[in-house]
Amino acid sequence: MRSAPFTLLLSAFLCAAGCSDSGDGDGGETTGSGGATGGTTSGGTTSGTPSGATTGSGEASASSGATTGSGDTTSASNGATSGSGGATSGSGTGGEGTGGSDGTGGGASARVPAASASTLREAGEKANPPLLIGAAISGGGLGNNDYKRVAAAEHNYVTAENEMKWDALEPSAGNFSWGSADNIVNWARQNNMKVKGHTLVWHSQLPGWMSSMTGKANVEAAMRRHITQVMGHFKDRLDHWDVVNEAVQTDSDTGVGNPRMRPTVFYNQIGESYIDLAFQIAREQDPKAKLYYNDYSIDARNDKVEFVYNMVKGMVDRGVPIDGVGFQMHIGPPNNEAGGADVAANMKRFTDLGLEVLISEMDINRCGGVVTAEEQLTYYHDIVAACFKEPKCTAVTFWGINDGRSWLNSWSGALCNGQSSQSLLFNDQYGKKETYNRVMNALLGK
């Protein structure tokens, strides 16, 4: 792993000299960065203006019926005591459960891979204990039949890329807008995919009325209403939640320098206890839900993850109802790099606290030449393998389906300048890339 300042300088230089390979093709999506109300700081980069989003021929948008996923969908059905690792978990029935008993990581000492699989989803479902294979899904993507086909065939876990964020769900105080989120949740359920709610409390994509609120009691009341209403609306359909997202910051988006609580409206008005409070409200709303803390550049050892580890340990020690930690795993600019061995060691520290861990938003950005093609393949294999080998790592979610739709393409700190980040598992014709093969190998224990 190179030091961040060096890589960023190098990448800036390389970019100036002709940044990155071009993307795969259809350029069908304009993502745009910045512009979210309340300012955006996500994936690390404080952002403001779009930086030349890709444009192209557009997407075929007519959608005619959800595709059906391949493979069976009983993500926790293989409760057999198995083989070499002596795994004895998988006690869940049909993929649902609570408090660590859903067949994912319930005490097994090793995860046993499937003998073979034709999709990532199948590899995850046949492993023992099973591993959820996720993707960030966008409402725009669901307008494309190829996107839907690949998304449902290869994944059994969905995170809405933007549609369940505060500005989308509660654009004005107390008035909720469910349509876009319901579309994604309903599509996922039609395809026997679980959904993780993302995200209840976050400083970004926060409507102006909320980010400018003052007064502890006001902010607490607004946070309580939002969590209660949102979890209540989806209660019968999903029971995994990112409760608090990105509460910690450092001087660099790579997780280096002066780790501290991020000065959000929640922190500024309530203090650090807002995090405990958010989890407590979420637990009151759903006693059985899995409740996660989620953050970026905490994937291996650095200043930020030390701070987050101590924060989370404090929560566990105080009895705050947290079930796990999501390592976003955005590798490359604007975030950190992390090797498989470091990721595994870091996961172990958190699982030793009695928590689940998840890879929650994985992509590996090639822009700027900071991460080479060969490094990308090694990272994809080794990092997914680190999760696969850890039975308490319960999910791997990729942050998108195909390269052309990646948020990185237009994110100013990602050094792409509208070029393809080449960061995901499928190209723009929805063909499998070598990155897909490396991930599949990791899921099959190879």
361 counts as binding ligand G3I under rule CB under 6 A: yes
Phi, psi of 324 (to 5 degrees): -175, 175
Return the structure tokens found at 336: 């950190």
Q: Which of 162, 180, 211, 297 binds ligand G3I (CB under 6 A)?
A: 162
Q: Which of 407, 426, 430, 436 binds ligand G3I (CB under 6 A)?
A: 407
CA distance 308 to 325: 10
The helix (H) or strand (E) run that includes residue 394 is strand 393-398
Residue 315: strand, helix, or coil: helix
Cβ burial, residue 182 (10 Å; 0-12/13-18/19+): middle
CA distance 311 to 267: 14
Give the shortest CB-194-to-ligand G3I separation in angstroms.
18
52 counts as binding ligand G3I under rule CB under 6 A: no
205 counts as binding ligand G3I under rule CB under 6 A: yes
31 counts as binding ligand G3I under rule CB under 6 A: yes
E strand spans, 305-355 = 324-327, 330-331
Q: Which of 151, 292, 174 is nearest to 228 (CA)?
A: 174
CA distance 107 to 368: 42
Kindly name the residue from 29, 154, 246, 390 that is annotated as catalytic: 246
36 counts as binding ligand G3I under rule CB under 6 A: yes
Return the structure tokens found at 199: 């995200």
Give the shortest CB-15-to-ligand G3I separation in angstroms.
19
State yes or no: is 361 an active-site residue.
yes
Is 125 or 363 the residue whose CB approaches ligand G3I more closely?
Answer: 363
CA distance 217 to 221: 6
The count of residues interacting with ligand G3I (CB under 6 A) is 19
Q: Which of 1, 10, 25, 32 binds ligand G3I (CB under 6 A)?
A: 32
Dihedral, 379, 102, 157, 74 alpha carbons, nearest 10? 110
163 counts as binding ligand G3I under rule CB under 6 A: no
**Residue written as token pair 């822009």:** 367
Stretch that binds ligand G3I, among 25-33, 257-265, 375-383, 414-422 (CB under 6 A): 25-33
Q: Which of 242, 222, 235, 220 is nearest to 164 (CA)?
A: 242
Kindly name the residue from 163, 170, 361, 390 that is annotated as catalytic: 361
34 counts as binding ligand G3I under rule CB under 6 A: yes
The helix (H) or strand (E) run that includes residue 103 is none
50 counts as binding ligand G3I under rule CB under 6 A: yes
365 counts as binding ligand G3I under rule CB under 6 A: no
Stretch that binds ligand G3I, among 40-48, 88-96, 115-123, 369-377 (CB under 6 A): 40-48
In whole angstroms, how large is the CA radius of gyration of the chain?
20
297 counts as binding ligand G3I under rule CB under 6 A: no
Give the shortest CB-165-to-ligand G3I separation in angstroms.
7
336 counts as binding ligand G3I under rule CB under 6 A: no
**Residues interacting with ligand G3I, by CB under 6 A?**
31-36, 40, 42-43, 50, 161-162, 204-205, 245, 296, 328, 361, 407
Q: Which residues are catalytic?
A: 246, 361
